[in-house]
Amino acid sequence: MKRKLLRTAKVIWMLSLLLISFTQAWAQQRTVTGKVTGENNEGLPGVTIVVKGTSTGTTTGTSGEFTVDVPSGTSTLTASFIGYATQDVPVNNQSVINIRLAPDTKALEEVVVIGYQTVRKQDLTGAASVINPEAATKVTTNTVAEAIQGLAPGVTVRNTGRPGAGASIDIRGVASFTNTSPLYVIDGMIADASPTLNTDDIESIQILKDASAAAIYGSRAGNGVVIITTKKGKEGPAKIGVSVKHGLQQLPKLWDVMNAEEFAATQRLQYENSGATPPASVSLTPPTGPGSIRHYTVTNTDWQKEATQLGSLADYNVTLSGGSQNSSYLISGSYFTNEGVVIGNSFDRASLRVNTQGSKGRITFGENLVLTHSWEERPLLVNPFYDMPQLLPVIPVQSPSLVDVNANNPGGWGLGDPVTAPSYAWNYIAMTKLFNTTHKYSRLVGNAFVDVKLFDWLSYKFNAGLDGGFDFNQNIRTPGNWVLGQAFEASHVYQNRQNFYTLLFEHTLNFNKVFNRHNLNGVVGYTQQRTNRDIIEARRNDLQNFGGQDLTTISSAIGDQTSEGRVLDDYRLNGALGRINYTYDDKYLLTLTGRYDEDSRFGADYRSKFFPSVAVGWRISQEDFLRQDWLSDLKLRASYGQLGIATVGSWDYIGVINNNPRVVFGADNQTIAVGAYQARLTNPDLRWETRTSKNVGFDAAFLNNKILASAEYYHSLSEDVLVQLPVAYYLGNLGGDPFVNAASISNRGVEFSATYRSSENPFKWDITANFTTIKNRVEDLGNQGEGINYLQVGATRSQIGRGIGEWFVVETDGLFQSEEEVLNHKNSQGTVIQPFSKPGDVRFKDLNDDGQINDEDRTFKGSPWPKLQTGAQFNASYGGFNFNLQLIGVFGQTVFNDVRRILDSYVNTNFRSDINPWTPTNTNTSDPRLARNTELGVEFNNRYASDRWLEKAGYVRVRNVEIGYNLPKTFLSRMHINNARIYISGQNLLTITKYKGLDPDVTGVGILERGVDAGNWPASRVYSVGLNFEF
């Protein structure tokens, strides 16, 4: 009873305290009412009113009225609405507060960097995409190209999951057979945005896609231009920013192949179906001797698990920045490390950046400089995602019983055996031990500039840039083999050293003159660029001692020096450039751009070329007949122009003579005469590839910039495209078919992007979506000889009138179900087409009706190029919480699954676990009968150029999910921290696809075979946690 009374007393006491606290809190609050109006004194509905520093708030009603409870004292109200400038209003014990919002002129004056100039977005007549760098940096990547996937229409990005590897990027299709990489401009310097660039340093990213936007870069802009501006210091006291991210990487999928017991049962059945004796590794009677280790009852190796691991990554960034009215500075340091999901693969990068700027009177000066050092480790020659699924589970990774010095296997690595376990896939784990491979890259990229304001309307700028560095590649091979039947190869040391630099000097005049309703601005200039790369390599056999990757040199080996040489690449590019932007009455826009380039890489008659463009625009929303409150802006635009692509070496137009072979003459056979031959044919007509671009589009904004939309239709024609011309050996072609400017390629498509932004209540959100259609076509290939109008590589054909690298294969028509069906499969003349086949074999279509299946029956069957590419991004925030979701979708492409082809060929490989071979009692299947390829029918089933290996590879991927929390400032102020945010994120969490391979996002094995999945590295799932703070 006493305890009960005590508990009751405690409850009453707590309730009393709560009531007192509530009464005090009520007494400290004040109700404030008011109205929010716009520039026309009309009430604005949906304006967000928040008590600054809290999550307390409300939104205005239909007439702009609001009511909110605020603490007494000196509280501040913040009013925000899309299209208007955010305004802070102190309460100061007022009970009625009326707020008038002004249009957000900063939003209206948003500028776009278009090369040597910035223009207002509303005045832009070209096609350019501005990417939010915050969205790009949310994804953990090696390169900028990977980071922008799905964020801009017209930009195709194909990723690879290997640490340190770059991503391939195409802007508005493929304009060349030799190179599709865009031009990167970083802080005004022509440089490669390789994995050496830290994405956390990026302030803005602009992608120039048509001739009007990119023609200022002339001969280098045919594949588009990516302009990157790095962060600068801002006026104010010194600030230190710190960001830390840690993550784990995981392969989302591995090939589902059989274990040793399943494999043994399946292979026994395969051999028995062909009347053959199964190998000893799967026999029911285990073998004896050294080979006994290769038996399914002894060894059960999961090769994929042996070669993969849980990857890890870490990203650290520290920034010191600040400035005054006349100067600013930013110093940043970063370290990124990634241990890959495949053993023996890693990438590390350290960088130091210094960006400063100052002004004195009419002179502004500054520099942007970054020093990076990165190192990468990966085995040479081998692709683990191609070989690991194939290797037999009855083969051990390594065993003392397999040590055989005579067979060049001193390490006892698990290899196939021609009798007990025939397999010719490579032992990836052995390669990681037999090779010690290191790649180190040191690089300095930067520029310094001086800008002098000559008059109020005219300024002169001098910019000097440098991109220089040193690459070191070393490969140390120790004794041993990694595959069955491998010839003896001596141990060796190979080193490749490259010194390179690009120097850039630019002189430009910028002008901007306004008179009455006319505005004239632009730039004229002259640029000089020199690029030099000096490569020296050497290899020596018979390694005597291995002192690790840092202490082993060429002199560590004492055998023959089997290779040595030097390659020098040195060229100059000079250009005169100009752009004029004219605007009348803020409605009618005209842009004229041109660049005249001279390049030393071409013959004397083709070194110079002019690349012009013209664009017009009409801000029709400024016309009186279309002035509407709901329409913030509407601009129609069109452009036409030419761009160039230069993908040749410094001396490709010059013939090459080699001093070889040596011939012995004389009666005593002792006289050696050195001969000579032409290793490369002369082509003085080598010149630029030229891309002519047409573009029409519109940009629109609605409801005070709450809704933004942009659409484009584009068409481009690339002419003088480089293609190899077949030249017979007897005509002197001993160095391979020469490249000539003979082909033409067209690209056309539609782009669309839209954004909706909502800030009508404390829950703020926005969504952006885009889509792209791209269709390429081969228009001309020059004279290929004998009337040939196509290029054919593997299972692809690039034919005039069709797309690049379309699948050109023999069509299948199901499986034969009976011997009668085999005999009835005839041509029109009654010839049995596949007389060697049996029930359960693949039936092929004899399209040319000649009674046999051969390459003459091949036909077009799909394309590796997507018909539709989409991207979407959703952001939301409430209180201190924020959320980001990124999606990408790619549809309509077909992929050649070469890994499945190997597995389903039934030839010395493992089998898929879900294989369902045809049998007389199992006829409802697409997998052919299980037998050895010694039977002609089985061998015929496995023909390479067949639609049997083609798969639809469209997909939707959850690219990134991030949830963050901004810590309260009241809490942070105690630790003298300005702001702090913690977050968790997941990358590539889900991919929805029907593709059977590891990843439908296939990079391919070249432009002509873009859709071949020959063990493509899949994108890893990444789980990360991070912290950002500033003080």
- CATH number for 107-244 (one of 1.10.510.10, 3.30.429.10, 3.30.1050.10, 2.170.130.10): it is 2.170.130.10
Contact 948, 866 (CB under 8 A): no
Distance of alpha carbon 573 from alpha carbon 568, whole angstroms: 17
Query: pLDDT at position 22, please?
Result: 36
Tell me the whole-structure pTM to 2 decimals.
0.87
Which own/partner contact pairs does 136-139 have at CB distance under 8 Å and 24+ positions apart? Answer: 136/199, 136/202, 136/205, 137/199, 137/200, 137/202, 138/884, 138/886, 138/960, 138/962, 138/985, 139/886, 139/959, 139/960, 139/987
346-396 per-position pLDDT tens digit? 999 999 999 999 999 999 999 999 999 999 988 877 789 999 999 999 999
* Residues 6+ positions from 965 with CB-CB distance below 8 Å: 880, 881, 882, 981, 982, 983
CB atoms within 10 A of CB 201: 24
210 half-sphere exposure, CB direction, 13 A CA radius = 31
Q: Two tokens at 54?
A: 């809290």
Query: pLDDT at position 55, please?
Result: 60
Q: Give the type of residue at 279.
A: P
915 phi, psi to nearest 5 deg:
-65, 140
CB atoms within 10 A of CB 207: 25
Query: pLDDT at position 38, please?
Result: 82
Q: Two tokens at 269?
A: 């059945």
Alpha-helical runs (H) found in 64-180: 105-108, 133-137, 144-147
CATH of domain 26-105: 2.60.40.1120
CB atoms within 10 A of CB 566: 9
Distance of alpha carbon 615 from alpha carbon 126, whole angstroms: 7
Query: pLDDT at position 9, please?
Result: 45
Query: pLDDT at position 18, please?
Result: 38
Distance of alpha carbon 261 from alpha carbon 329, whole angstroms: 66
Distance of alpha carbon 187 from alpha carbon 191, whole angstroms: 9
Contact 577, 611 (CB under 8 A): no
Supply the DSSP symbol for 162. S
* Cα→Cα distances 811→59, 835, 838, 892, 962, Å: 64, 18, 18, 19, 45
Contact 938, 918 (CB under 8 A): no
Contact 189, 467 (CB under 8 A): yes
Q: Give the three-state DSSP class for 936.
A: helix
Query: pLDDT at position 26, please?
Result: 38
* Residues 6+ positions from 886 with CB-CB distance below 8 Å: 135, 138, 139, 150, 151, 871, 872, 873, 958, 959, 960, 961
Query: pLDDT at position 25, please?
Result: 41
Q: Give the three-state DSSP class for 536.
A: strand
Beta-strand runs (E) in 383-432: none
Q: Helices then strands (H, E): number in the chain? A: 13, 51
Say whether 107-244 and 26-105 share the same fold.
Answer: no
* Residues 6+ positions from 364 with CB-CB distance below 8 Å: 357, 358, 450, 451, 452, 453
Beta-strand runs (E) in 111-192: 111-113, 118-120, 128-131, 155-158, 168-171, 183-186, 189-190
The low-confidence residues of the chain, meaning pLDDT below 70, are 1-29, 40, 46, 53-55, 62, 72-74, 82-83, 104-109, 546-551, 563, 660-672, 759-760, 783-787
Share of the chain residues as helix, strand and coil, in percent rounded to the nearest 5: 15, 50, 40
Residue count of the chain:
1031
15-59 per-position pLDDT tens digit? 343 333 433 443 456 788 999 988 767 788 768 888 876 667 777
What is the CA angle 393-397-399, rounded to 5? 115
What is the CA angle 615-616-621, rounded to 5? 145
Contact 78, 53 (CB under 8 A): no
* Residues 6+ positions from 763 with CB-CB distance below 8 Å: 876, 877, 878
Q: Give the three-state DSSP class for 911.
A: coil
Contact 360, 880 (CB under 8 A): no
For residue 45, whether the previous peptide bond is cis, meaning omega lies within 30 degrees of 0, is no
Distance of alpha carbon 105 from alpha carbon 117, whole angstroms: 20
Residue boundaries of the structural domains of the chain:
26-105, 107-244, 811-857+905-941
Supply the DSSP symbol for 581. E
* Residues 6+ positions from 161 with CB-CB distance below 8 Å: 340, 341, 999, 1017, 1018, 1019, 1020
